[in-house]
Chain A
Amino acid sequence: MNQADLSKLVSALRIAVKPKPRRFSCPEGPAGRLEKLRATVTALVKYERIELNHPRAEEAQGYAERLISDAIRNGDCHKHTMEMADYWLNEKQLVHKLFKVLAPRYQNYNSSFTRLVLGPKTYPGYYVGTAILELKGNPFPALQPETHNYHYWLHNVLLEEAKKEFRSARQDRNAGTTESVTAES
């Protein structure tokens, strides 16, 4: 049983975080894993929508969310946050983008800041398949069509009530006819 680390305050992430991190095979070993993820996070912040393999996308999603949540919580005058941003973003203009563009954009979000959409699994190829990782609020057209038919729209509510009324009226009619049949017999 361990005690929680108290030295840093972190915001809760709104994505599903797995209990164990994934390892990536690289010649430098565990050091190289962070180098690879650094490149992915930099690309995500730069292009706002990238297509890559699913395992790397999932790991990078966690790191990107952590970076943005720290930027929102602490701002750019916080020494530790600035060090993290400096490490994770290889291009220094993206540090400005993080604090000046992304942090205000996601200030009042109640959901996650990134979206991971599974991409095509082309055969033959990488078994786990591709994924598209994007920052929400990006200027590109949406990847998935907006779902229609929300149950709380007014006409849907009225239709539901009308259906219920019709069904109950039919039940009453059927009950009425069966009673009259039993009464006759």
Chain B
Amino acid sequence: MLRRAVLQTFRQGLAQSFFKRNAVSLSETTVTHQPIETSDEADEKSVSKQKPGDESGNTVVVAPPEFRFMYPEFLPDPAMERRNRLKEKLERIDMLQRRSVVEIPEFYTGSVMAVTVADANSPNKFARFVGICIQRGGSGLRAWFILRNVVDKQGVEILYEMYCPLIQKIEVLRLERRLDESLLYLRDALPEYSTFPLDMEPERRLNNSVVPINPLKVKLRPRPWLERWERQNLQGVEDLNLPQRFYDKAEKVAKPWEKYDLMLQYRKTIPAEEQEKIFADVHSQLQQQEFKRKIRRRRGIDNEQ
């Protein structure tokens, strides 16, 4: 397997470049918005559903099914050896506490975001970075996401931990999804696909109920690449145009039986009943926080007027 080049995605506070690339003239890429239903399970937006009651006649409040996409870090690490129900419960309480102080908005891989971090070493004590979210991971308080941008012809990636107390503000400038869950191929793509102006304004969405999927197919630079993209079944890249031997080797190395391995899937997921319990626990508080923020926003607009 190709030895991964040592890529150090720098944590917040150290926005240094790590490889030099020559940028082609920056051209505006056309982005087509196609509001496609992201999940065929529910159309409602954060409306709590009341399940029909049990024998005692009590109604059970259940969070809407898309919560697992909006707040994936509330689900614990599925590895069985590391599960601890008490620890997870305490972590959720802490996460909600942090969310009541700082608004952590809904975002997906492919959304353009701006993060303001408290930085003792910068002239104004805050450091703001704008970038496209190329990957998100972690669970609980260790949830993180990576923002990528090209600044002065230099590719820069910063990993932010969502619940870090240094984070002052997280804004989503453009909320959209892409065809892949991980956009690491942007490192090998032409720089215009990763460039976003640092003074970008937040964009208003026409249709609030559905998150649009951007069907953009990215063009990659000529080889060598950081990873073997032809082995990864990427939807969001243009045809790689490699010699046939690459595809033959990819087929030889592929594990097509993993698609049918039911126990492998089970060990990687949290069962639906547990998910429902976790989100039922958490969603009423999240709803309350959203409500309070809306009121504060409206009051702010009224005061300005």
**Which residues from chain B sit less than 8 Å from chain A, CB to CB?**
68-69, 72-73, 75-81, 136-140, 142-143, 255, 257, 260-275
Selected from B79, B80, B260, the residue in CB contact (under 8 A) with A2 is B79
Contact A30 B255 (CB under 8 A): yes
- Min Cβ gap B259→A in Å is 9
- Min Cβ gap B133→A in Å is 14
Contact A3 B81 (CB under 8 A): no
User: How many interface residues does chain A have, given as a range?
Assistant: 20 to 34
- Min Cβ gap B65→A in Å is 8
Contacting residues of chain A (5-20) with chain B, CB-CB under 8 angstroms: 5-6, 8-13, 17-19
**Which residues from chain A sit less than 8 Å from chain B, CB to CB?**
1-6, 8-13, 17-19, 21, 30-31, 34, 59, 62-63, 66-67, 70, 73, 83-84, 87-88
- Complex CA–CA separation, A26 to B190 (angstroms): 45
Contact B260 A6 (CB under 8 A): no
Q: 19 interchain pairs (CB within 8 A)?
A: A2-B138, A3-B77, A3-B136, A3-B137, A3-B139, A4-B76, A5-B78, A11-B273, A13-B266, A17-B266, A17-B267, A19-B79, A19-B267, A21-B267, A30-B257, A34-B257, A62-B262, A62-B263, A84-B262
- Complex CA–CA separation, A1 to B83 (angstroms): 11
Given A21-B263, A63-B263, A66-B263; A4-B257 close (CB under 8 Å): no
Q: Chain A contacts of B268 at CB under 8 A?
A: 2, 4-5
Selected from B77, B261, B262, B263, the residue in CB contact (under 8 A) with A1 is B77
Q: Chain A contacts of B78 at CB under 8 A?
A: 2, 4-5
- Complex CA–CA separation, A2 to B68 (angstroms): 15
- Complex CA–CA separation, A10 to B75 (angstroms): 14
Q: Which residue of B lies closest to A2 (CB)?
A: B77
Selected from B140, B262, B265, the residue in CB contact (under 8 A) with A5 is B265
Q: Chain A contacts of B72 at CB under 8 A?
A: 3-4, 6
- Min Cβ gap A94→B in Å is 16
Contact A9 B265 (CB under 8 A): no
- Min Cβ gap B146→A in Å is 13
Contact A12 B272 (CB under 8 A): yes
Given A1-B77, A17-B267; A67-B262 close (CB under 8 Å): yes
Q: Chain A contacts of B73 at CB under 8 A?
A: 3
Q: Chain A contacts of B138 at CB under 8 A?
A: 1-3
Q: Which residue of B lies closest to A70 (CB)?
A: B262
Given A30-B257, A66-B263; A3-B75 close (CB under 8 Å): yes
Contact A4 B270 (CB under 8 A): yes
Selected from A10, A12, A30, A88, the residue in CB contact (under 8 A) with B265 is A10
- Min Cβ gap B68→A in Å is 5
Q: Which residue of B lies closest to A13 (CB)?
A: B266
- Min Cβ gap B38→A in Å is 11
Q: Chain B contacts of A18 at CB under 8 A?
A: 80
Q: Chain A contacts of B272 at CB under 8 A?
A: 9-12, 73
- Complex CA–CA separation, A8 to B79 (angstroms): 17
Given A2-B139, A3-B139, A13-B266; A87-B271 close (CB under 8 Å): no
Q: Chain B contacts of A59 at CB under 8 A?
A: 263
- Complex CA–CA separation, A83 to B269 (angstroms): 19
Given A11-B273, A19-B80; A4-B75 close (CB under 8 Å): yes
Q: Chain B contacts of A84 at CB under 8 A?
A: 260, 262
- Min Cβ gap B223→A in Å is 30
- Complex CA–CA separation, A34 to B256 (angstroms): 11
Q: Chain B contacts of A5 at CB under 8 A?
A: 78, 265, 268-269
Contact B68 A66 (CB under 8 A): no
- Min Cβ gap A35→B in Å is 8
Selected from A6, A12, A63, A87, the residue in CB contact (under 8 A) with B68 is A6
- Min Cβ gap B165→A in Å is 19
Q: Chain A contacts of B267 at CB under 8 A?
A: 17, 19, 21
- Min Cβ gap B92→A in Å is 14
Q: Chain B contacts of A67 at CB under 8 A?
A: 262
- Min Cβ gap A73→B in Å is 8
